[in-house]
Amino acid sequence: MIRLDGVGKTYRTRRGDLVHAVEDVTLHVAENEFVTLVGPSGCGKSTLLRLVAGLTPVTRGTIAIRDEPVREPFADVGFVFQQPVLLPWRSVLDNVLFSVEMLGLEPRQYRKQALDLLELTGLAGFETKYPRELSGGMQQRVAICRALLPDPSLLLMDEPFGALDAMTREEMSLELLRIWEERRKTILFVTHSIPEAILLADRVVVMTPRPGRIARILTVGLPRPRTMEAEFDPRFKAASEDVRGLIFARRGAR
């Protein structure tokens, strides 16, 4: 579904230095595949997500979605950030409807679907609350509902659980998997948590920094649907050792 071929992104800082945020990334993602991008800060994983979203243009290479080259943002995508960035003056329901509204669709026709999504994410009964009345985890669920409402075939998630506490984080990962089982879509998920990357993914893309590039792509062979028990599976342990090795080997070499 997504094809990145030889993608590179070079920034110029204010001082005029060139920064190679992403270099020579080639990655093909299949329809309904769950791919996680994991790596330390500065490895270009978030930049890669912005490139795929069409929010920033590539410097080199090509990105195509369903054979359509990405030149600007396209409508069939949902974005979830590390912060929920909800609109504080809108109720939970109106925040979920924000996405269809910005897309130029009629929000009234999406009311039922929005309520269904809130139900699916365990937010039934909170429709009329303001965001600040919700916990961090609940706010992020609202942000996920907002991204899911137009039913995009591609979901881009930039460390969506990074700001949550460890317990809420595990809970949210499993919940995301449950939602994904119910409404299949292609997901590109950025994280710097290795267990999170493995638990969620069909394939884990391990990235290393300066310049940001792919170290290796690992296929996670764990059966689905996955539960917290998956972490005790020897395959899980093997995979996390692989990822750890790839990230820290490079650091050790320096």
Partner 1 sequence: MIRRRVVSDYLVPAATLLGVLLAWEAATRAFRVPRFVMPAPSAILAEGWDWRYRFLGHAWVTLYETLGGFALSIAVGVPLAVLIVYSPVLRSALYPLIVLAQSVPKIAIAPVLLLMVGHGEFPKVIVAFLVAFFPVVVDTATGLAATPPELLDLSRSYRASAFKTFVKVRLPMAMPFVFAGAKVAITLAVIGAVVGEFVGSDKGLGYVILSATSYWKTELAFSSMILLSLMAIVLFGAVSLVERLVCPWLVPTVDE
132 in contact with partner 1 (CB under 8 A) = yes
Query: Could you say which of 64, 85, 115, 217 contacts partner 1 (CB under 8 A)?
Result: 85
> What is the C-alpha to C-alpha distance for residues 38 and 156, in angstroms, rounded to an integer?
14
Separation CA 47–CA 199 (nearest Å): 23
If one asks whether residue 77 binds partner 1 (CB under 8 A), the answer comes out as: yes
Any contact of residue 103 with partner 1 (CB under 8 A)? yes
Measure the CA–CA gap between 41 and 75, rounded to whole angstroms: 29
Distances (CA, A) of 71 to 50, 61, 130, 151, 170: 12, 12, 36, 22, 35
Q: Which of 16, 88, 234, 252 binds partner 1 (CB under 8 A)?
A: 88
By CB under 8 A, is residue 108 in contact with partner 1? no
Told to check if 167 binds partner 1 by CB under 8 A, we report no
| Spatial separation of the C-alpha atoms in residues 226 and 216, rounded to whole Å | 23
In the bound state with partner 1, the residue whose beta carbon lies nearer, of 14 and 254, is: 14
Reference 195, options 157, 156, 242; nearest CA is 242
Which stretch, 118-126, 129-137, 189-197, 212-220, contacts partner 1 (CB under 8 A)? Answer: 129-137
Q: Per CB under 8 A, which region of 17-25, 52-60, 118-126, 203-211 contacts partner 1? A: 52-60
Q: Does 50 bind partner 1 (CB under 8 A)?
A: yes
Piece of the chain touching partner 1 by CB under 8 A; list 78-86, 182-190, 220-228, 231-239: 78-86
d(CA 163, CA 136): 8
State the number of binding residues for partner 1 (CB under 8 A).
25
Torsion sign over Cα 177, 34, 204, 209: negative
Q: Please provide residue 107's backbone torsions phi and psi, each rounded to the nearest 5 degrees.
A: -60, -30
Among 6, 73, 221, 225, binds partner 1 (CB under 8 A): 73
Least distance to partner 1, CB of residue 156, Å:
8
Taking the complex as a whole, how short is the minimal distance between the CB of residue 199 and partner 1, in angstroms?
25
Kindly report the number of other CB atoms within 10 A of residue 193's CB atom.
Answer: 18
Interacting span for partner 1 (CB under 8 A) from 62-70, 81-89, 198-206, 213-221:
81-89
**φ, ψ for residue 213 (rounded to 5)?**
-145, 170
Residue ranges in contact with partner 1 by CB under 8 A? 50, 53-55, 72-75, 77, 79, 81, 83, 85, 87-89, 98-99, 101-104, 130, 132-133
